[in-house]
Chain A
């Protein structure tokens, strides 16, 4: 089981809670799972497209992953951190040109039709590669999927594609949708995008806009005795404070994705009948990043970037903003990643005097009013913590004579301002680490990305050496060599600071203690919940 690498306090809190309440398999067995019951879960948003094969995002998975399954799921103790779902095994060819999947037998779609390799081929070629937000990159060289029999699918690539990358992509990118439902008409307009049909433990039953989603038990599910629950209902609670109140009032039984504000956790953990669970998100690490616009002449100077890095007190960020439920960051790969992370990178300890010296050296002396220059700071509005960090960063910069003016946008305006118009000097962003740097991390550094691509390098940073490294790693087949290249990548990024990684955090669940088998895999909140149960 990979070590939990949230901060020390988070770690302690986490393990204490684990012992106390979380149903890890070993502990969970003390209480036999019960069958039946309705689990009511808080949902803070209503995704407009529920097809996880098109929209591979946590908001969609949170609901759809119970309906539409992937080929494999992340696992604490499986080989390569995976466990089988619709695929039983996966094997990459030595030349990197093909990957063979053996599929599970006896699986039925919710409409009773059998699941076959044709569905996998259809999903990969017609959906993941052309339509999926992440699949468009990972499967860009996929040219064909051979189906020698109903239970074998062979992915063929035009260029060598690292098997490690495909493997790491399976939990998030490989949702299989039924060919017979999607083959007629435009896939994007298919009504099943709003009422998904899959092979999962729960069938999509009902959606009332602004109120709830209801999933009902799939009696024909392939898992033995699963699912345990009769129903899962997602109650839409748009206001940030209502999830905690709803839990206390026993109107809901689970609030995932930190729907209960961090500052409220201490209090709510003392409420009888409720438990705070910090596990189950290890595969969903968010990174707190200061994005830098290198078009600003001051910020193009490495010394200034180093000064900013030294001005940020990562310890304060972890302790005060994240209340310990986070870890400080050293570079572009989070510490809790078992494959790629290296601690052997240049670091920037909190040192205001040094930061001031660096700025003096760079030639930006303080003016009479104590200010060196003024920056426009755009904190991403998606999380409380990104906004709070924006407020903190403004203060931290003030201490080194940099006057930051915060621009507060809503999500749409923020995306447009930062990634299309480049109307920022510094931005605070929360990119997601998806288990492999090639999926969503290198894009934050790589040059030559067209304007308007969100969560990518739009700061005008260009470093030929890093670009070459990224290109080389994307076609290196040997896992050890590829991993080594990404360690090199981390060192170079930490040295040249195209962006500043401040902290890494994950989410917290709060549940009634009758909810069993929660947090038993690293992507639990977005996994299929087949073994989740309610003890009554």
Chain B
């Protein structure tokens, strides 16, 4: 069961950190060491990501000009003109070198699809994706662990099995199917919620009103994305709890005659919760991938859809920028999770062993 959670998500722990002294006072120092090690490692990882993606995109049949003339047509002279203007007549190596050099100056380059600096294009979409991912993660984590506690409080009971298999069934539903069904039911037939987008278009709403508007628009996509990953937390929670029931301190608590509810929440669930925090970080890359499809179904202008547009338009620097930004995002999230962990649990190193 843990294996399920474990590999679907992709375990993104970097190295087995050296074991830490179990003293809270040293937590800060440990966090700093961790931070430094991760940063150095991340630079190499990002370099591999950039060069790998660049080479992959170079192998693509058709370039930005081919993608552009789909809608326009044009003669040989015009095509040559465009290739020259967009710098596509230079050699691959020159372009890779130029790209890396610009990257050193934190310049992501210029998008031919949008005729704008890539940094601006990405920054415009990033908040949307962050809100979507954040809310979906909160939903799957919150609801998943709550249901997991409910299921794990009585291991082997009917409700345990029902929730466990039921959530797995949801996990087996392709995200786009769930999205389409939600749209038909809640937006078209019942008209409770908008069918898509991130906010009412050109509504000139501000402040709280706008926030409420965005929240309404997010209900369906967040549900579609979050409900699917619910299974991960639910099953991990109940598995962790099943394990915790057998631990000495729980047995001791039961022997002392503590109320069952108290044992469940204060002892069993609390101990099972820690691995879920790790999962939170590990799952971020997965969710970013899942949001590609969800953003397309719900017309949410986020990073995932931008990636699709970049691929379709053969906008190499834009796609590189997106991959780079999402990689940084994944690294940062995992770092935050690990840092939080380093404060919460002094044995952090041990739990990462072998991953």
Contacts and interface: CB of A to CB of B under 8 A. Distances in A.
Interface of A: 38, 40, 45-49, 55-57, 59-60, 131, 133-134, 136-137, 188, 193-194, 206, 208-212, 214, 231, 233, 235-239, 241-242, 245-246, 248-251, 382, 409-417, 420-421, 440, 449-455
Nearest to B120: A209
Contacts of A237: 196, 299
B202 A236 contact: no
Interface of B: 60-64, 66-79, 85, 112-115, 121, 124-125, 180, 183-184, 187-188, 191, 194-199, 201-202, 296-297, 299, 301-302, 305-306, 309, 311-314
Nearest to A250: B191
Contacts of A209: 114, 121, 124-125, 301
B71 A249 contact: no
B73 A134 contact: yes
Contacts, number: 151
A236 B60 CA distance: 27
A413 B60 contact: yes
A416 B201 contact: no
Contacts of A206: 202
Given A136-B78, A245-B183, A415-B62, A455 B73 contact: yes
A157 B71 CA distance: 29
Q: Which 4 A-B pairs have the closest CB atoms?
A: A210-B301, A412-B62, A416-B62, A412-B67
Nearest to B77: A136
Contacts of B77: 136
Given A210-B305, A237-B196, A237-B299, A453 B76 contact: yes
Contacts of B79: 452-453
A48 B72 contact: no
B297 A239 contact: yes
Contact of A440 (B63, B73, B180): B73
B72 A242 contact: no
Given A48-B113, A193-B115, A415-B70, A249 B188 contact: yes
20 contacts: A46-B309, A48-B115, A55-B71, A57-B72, A131-B78, A136-B77, A211-B197, A212-B201, A235-B201, A238-B296, A239-B196, A242-B183, A245-B183, A245-B187, A249-B188, A409-B61, A417-B62, A449-B76, A452-B79, A454-B69
B305 A238 contact: yes
B118 to A, nearest CB: 12
A452 B63 CA distance: 12
A411 B66 CA distance: 8
Looking at A59, A188, A245, A412, which has the most chain B CB atoms within 10 Å of its CB? Answer: A412
B62 A248 contact: no
A246 B70 contact: no
Contacts of B305: 210, 238
Given A134-B73, A238-B299, A246 B195 contact: yes
A411 B188 contact: no
Contacts of A40: 201
Query: Of B63, B115, B199, B202, which is in contact with the most chain A CB atoms at under 10 Å from its CB?
Result: B202
A48 B66 contact: no
A239 B296 contact: yes
Given A233-B201, A238-B299, A239-B299, A133 B60 contact: no
Nearest to A382: B70
A415 B66 contact: yes
| Best-surrounded residue of B73, B77, B180, B302 (most CB of chain A within 10 A) | B73
